Amino acid sequence: MHIYFLSAATVFLFYTIWSQPKARLPHFDETLRELSLGDINFLHTTDTHGWFLGHINQRQYSADWGDFLSFTTRLRDICQARDLDLLLIDTGDRHDGNGLSDLTTPNGLYSSDVFMQQEYDIVTVGNHELYVPAVSELEYKTVVPHYGDRFISTNVEYLNDKGEYVVFGHDRYRYFTTEVKKYNVFALSFMFDFKGGNERVRVTPIETVVKEDWFLDLLEKHTRKPVDLVLVAGHIPISHSWLELYVLHGVLRTFFPDIPIQYFGGHSHIRDFTLLDDRAFALQSGRYCETVGFMSLSNIKGDNVTIDRKYIDFNLQSFLHHTKRSTIEQFNTDEGLQVSEKLTNYSNLLKLDESFGKVPRSYYITGADYYSNDSNSMLRFIENEVLRELEPKICHEDMDPILPPPSNSRIVLINTGSIRYDLYKGDFSRNSQFIVSPFKNKWKVLQNVPARIATRLQAILNKGPYIMENEIDYTIDLKELLSPYQREINSRISSLKLRYGQTTTDDLGSDGDDTIHRPVPQFAVPNVIQSYEYTDQQQPVDVVFYDFIERYVLWALQKACDGDNLLYYSLVEQLTFYNDCEQEFNVGELLKKYSLKHWR
Ligand SMILES: *[C@@H]1O[C@H](CO)[C@@H](O)[C@H](O)[C@H]1NC(C)=O
Ligand SMILES: *[C@@H]1O[C@H](CO)[C@@H](O)[C@H](O)[C@H]1NC(C)=O
Ligand SMILES: *[C@@H]1O[C@H](CO)[C@@H](O)[C@H](O)[C@H]1NC(C)=O
Ligand SMILES: [Zn+2]
Ligand SMILES: [Zn+2]
């Protein structure tokens, strides 16, 4: 392994020529692992969720989409000089989770324009392109024609203005020849079995597609053509436990028993690499512009394919290092700078930088221990400080605001799934608000709940099933992250002097991350958290909660009532809105209110 350090002089140069005032630079002294280029190389992005501006308050992921553009240009030049191919793949979920995508109508108006500056070879949709009809329409009418035959989808369809279902893409597949090595590639693209799409989209599950005649004919037809590589760009997790992928793989192998198959996955927001068999490889490249996945294959026509995979941290040190540039001037391209400028323009239009205060220190969701009341725990901070900012108010309903007896205590309950991202030291901006909690829920209240019952709800809910946020998010299984193998690696690495960052263990071992880090600690988080403001512990309590978790709260209430159905029904009878002004009072807005008061 070749370890590479930038000299102190180079570091100084970076600081002096870098002029964007808000931009943060990475640490330029991290130890990096090298990429092994192969005959055919891939860069993969997935689940970007609109993070094209980069992570302003996290140096490790501080590059923007313009830097990414320069990176791909420079790497393509290197590959071409060495007679190697480079292909770019994106596997969807470009919306929801960042102000850049979520503050426009329709959502994605500006962010898609930024995304499309990148020249992908294969692009497909994720489930976040399928929730809202206007978003699907923008995607179908703008992004699909932009990429033409490079935008494919094998199992997602769109209901066009003539009322016909058409492929959500240029075609169901792409058959093409690579520029340099002239490999014949047969590319397909699959969405996992997603049922939450809007009325203008239709997803046919893999299990069904693989039995349909048109699909079997398509595969059969390609067995009669020269194919050197089968490529599957999926919005689907690649973990060994995701059975759909294995159903697909089994069918592909019956038609292409010996041809290498390269899968790219997504949706579960993790870095991962799996081997499906000795000639079938799958890479998944994280989330939120934290990661560019790298994959290389060599000797694909021989009986001994050699491979490499790396998870590249989305920052300038990694980008410069892997393209062998020692100054930012050598690295930047005109097109890249142009995209960075476009981003700045959009950010200004949306006032994303507008600061509502300075976060004095970082708060972590799973990186700090909630159960030991760690003062770095984001969830404790929200319980103790932020939820108290909620006030009763009615915007939509034809009713008076709730004015509970002033002597009542109050509990405000939310599911932790509604908190999306850590809060980092630095500006708390309009964008931070979206990043931390983009969900717009209303608040409901159960009034005058006897204290002995109200105070049991949280514990009951935390013993219950995990509450998924709007069924949108796939939740990472913490147990899986903390496998004994991972723990052993963690303890071995933590003895070195390294910064915290991602440390991935996959089917090839634990040398996939390009930057060598100590693992971020991962603590268990509860299902729900609550603030508890009490006047007197004997007084009745108003239990306020996000309407999204209503059925869970009522379930817990019934348990807490312990067979006293009369009490349960009398409480439920009075269930009503507490605050239905979701634009003004969701958790992101409560944080903003807190910031304006305490962090300015
Ligand atoms: C596979 O190829 C690599 C490099 O091309 C070589 O070092 C290795 O010995 C080969 N293995 C087999 C089993 O042929
Ligand atoms: C950004 O905005 C400035 C000022 O309006 C304009 O001159 C420039 O062309 C814009 N840049 C891009 C890349 O859109
Ligand atoms: C947690 O710590 C905060 C102060 O950091 C304190 O106000 C609160 O009462 C503590 N809660 C528990 C449950 O220990
Ligand atoms: Zn996603
Ligand atoms: Zn997804």
Decide if pLDDT at 8 tops 50: no
Q: Does ligand 3 come within 6 angstroms of the Cβ of 373?
A: yes
Residue owning the nearest CA to atom 2 of ligand 3: 373
CA distances, 23 to each of 20, 358, 361, 400 (Å): 6, 16, 19, 47
pLDDT tens string 374-414? 999 999 999 999 999 999 999 987 887 777 788 899 999 99
Residue 537 Cβ contacting ligand 1 at under 6 Å: no
Evaluate if residue 447 carries a pLDDT over 60.
yes
Kindly give the distance from the C-alpha atom of residue 384 to the centroid of ligand 3, in angstroms, as a whole number. 8
Domain 8-350 bears CATH identifier 3.60.21.10 = yes
- Relative to the CA of 299, which ligand 1 atom is closest? 5
* pLDDT tier, 518 (very low <50, low <70, confident <90, very high otherwise): confident
Structure tokens at 263: 């899968």
Whether 565 is in the pocket of ligand 3, judged by its Cβ within 6 Å, is no
**Each residue of 171-184: b (16+ CB within 10 Å) or e?**
bbbbbbebeeeebe
Ligand 3 pocket test target in 380, 382, 529 with most atoms within 8 Å of CB: 380
- The per-residue pLDDT for range 231-254, each reduced to its tens digit, is 999 999 999 999 999 999 999 999
Query: Is the CB of 372 within 6 Å of ligand 3?
Result: no
Round to whole Å and give the CA distance between 61 and 280.
30
Q: Is the pLDDT of residue 12 over 60?
A: no
Smallest CA separation from ligand 2 atom 6, residue: 345
Please give the residue that has the higher pLDDT: either 134 or 488.
134
Q: What separation in Å is there between the alpha carbon of 373 and the centre of ligand 3?
A: 6
Q: Which atom of ligand 1 is nearest to the CA of 304?
A: 1
Cα 304 to ligand 1 centre (Å) = 6
Write out pLDDT tens, residues 367-381: 999 999 999 999 999
Number of neighbouring beta carbons within 10 Å of residue 239? 17
DSSP at 408: -
Say yes or no: CB of residue 334 within 6 Å of ligand 2: no
- Mean of the pLDDT values across residues 566-582? 95
Ligand nearest to the CA of 236: 5
DSSP letters, 75-126, are HHHHHHHTT-EEEEEE-S--SSSSHHHHTSSSTTHHHHHHHTTS--SEE---
Q: How far is the CA of 482 from the centre of ligand 3 (A)?
A: 27
Q: What spacing in Å lies between the alpha carbon of 155 and ligand 2's midpoint?
A: 39
The three-state DSSP-derived secondary structure of 207-274 is HHHCCCHHHHHHHHHHHCCCCCEEEEEEECCCCCCCHHHHHHHHHHHHHCCCCCEEEEECCCCCEEEE
**392 closest CA partner among 443, 457, 342, 437:** 443
Q: Which ligand is nearest to the CA of 343?
A: 2
The per-residue pLDDT for range 197-231, each reduced to its tens digit, is 999 999 999 999 999 999 999 999 999 999 999 99
Q: Is the beta carbon of 342 within 6 A of some atom in ligand 2?
A: yes
Ligand number with the minimum distance to the CA of 529: 3
Q: What is the CA angle 472-595-501, rounded to 5? A: 55
Residue matched to tokens 């915007």: 395
424 alpha-carbon distance from chain centroid? 17
Residue 508: burial class (beta carbons within 10 Å; 0-12, 13-18, 19+): middle
Ligand closest to CA 287: 4
Q: Are 80 and 33 in contact (CB under 8 A)?
A: no
Is 376 a pocket residue for ligand 3 (Cβ < 6 Å)?
A: no
- In the chain, the percentage of residues whose pLDDT exceeds 70 is 90
Question: Using an 8 Å Cβ cutoff, are 436 and 416 in contact?
Answer: no
434: CA distance to ligand 1 center in Å? 50
Rounded mean pLDDT of 441-454? Answer: 95
Find out whether the beta carbon of 241 lies less than 6 Å from any atom of ligand 1. no
Q: Evaluate whether 34 touches 512 at the Cβ level (below 8 Å).
A: no
For residue 106, whether the previous peptide bond is cis, meaning omega lies within 30 degrees of 0, is: yes
How is residue 562 written in tokens?
């312990």
CA distances from 534 to 393, 405, 413 (A): 20, 13, 14
* The total number of residues written for the chain in this structure: 600
**Which of 39, 306, 308 for a ligand 1 pocket mutation test, highest count of atoms within 8 Å of Cβ?**
306
Pick the residue whose CA is nearest to atom 12 on ligand 2: 342
pLDDT digits (tens, 9 = 90+) for 32-49: 999 999 999 999 999 999
Confidence of residue 500 (pLDDT cuts 50, 70, 90): confident
Query: For residue 481, what pLDDT is reported?
Result: 37
Residue with CA at minimum distance from ligand 3 atom 12: 373
The torsion region of residue 481 among left (phi > 0), alpha (psi -120 to 50) and beta comes to: alpha
**Cα of 267 from ligand 5 centre, angstroms:** 4
C-alpha span between 119 and 253 (Å, rounded): 30
Mean pLDDT of the chain: 90
Q: Which ligand is nearest to the CA of 96?
A: 4
DSSP state of 287: S
Strand segments, DSSP code E, in 354-466 are 355-359, 409-415, 426-429, 443-449
Give the number of the atom of ligand 1 that is nearest the alpha carbon of residue 298.
5
User: Ligand 1 pocket, 304 CB below 6 A?
Assistant: yes
**CA distances to 183, 249, 263 from 257, in Å:** 18, 10, 16
* Centre of ligand 3 from the C-alpha of residue 114, in Å: 44
Kindly state if the Cβ of 373 falls inside 6 Å of ligand 1. no
Instruction: Answer yes or no: same fold for 8-350 and 355-467+527-598.
Output: no
Decide: 306 in ligand 1 pocket, CB within 6 A. yes
Q: pLDDT higher for 537 or 326? A: 326
**Cβ atoms of residues 147 and 120 within 8 Å:** yes
Q: Which atom of ligand 3 is nearest to 373's Cα?
A: 1
Which pLDDT band holds residue 496 (cuts at 50, 70, 90)?
low
Pick from 36, 298, 304 the residue to mutate for probing ligand 1's pocket: most ligand atoms within 8 Å of its CB: 304
By alpha-carbon position, which residue is closest to atom 14 of ligand 3? 373
Q: Quick count: other Cβ atoms within 10 Å of Cβ 12? A: 11
pLDDT at 169: 98
Q: Please work out whether the CB of residue 348 comes within 6 Å of at least one atom of ligand 2.
A: no
- The alpha carbon of 94 and the centre of ligand 4 are apart by a number of angstroms equal to 8
Cα–ligand 5 centroid distance for 117 (angstroms):
22
- CATH architecture entry for 355-467+527-598: Alpha-Beta Complex (3.90)
Query: Could you read off the pLDDT of 321-349 as tens digits, one per residue?
Result: 999 999 999 999 999 999 999 999 999 99
What are the domain boundaries of the chain?
Answer: 8-350, 355-467+527-598
Probe residue for ligand 2, chosen from 69, 333, 337, 341 as the CB with the greatest number of ligand atoms within 8 Å: 341
Atom number, ligand 3, closest to the C-alpha of residue 380: 1
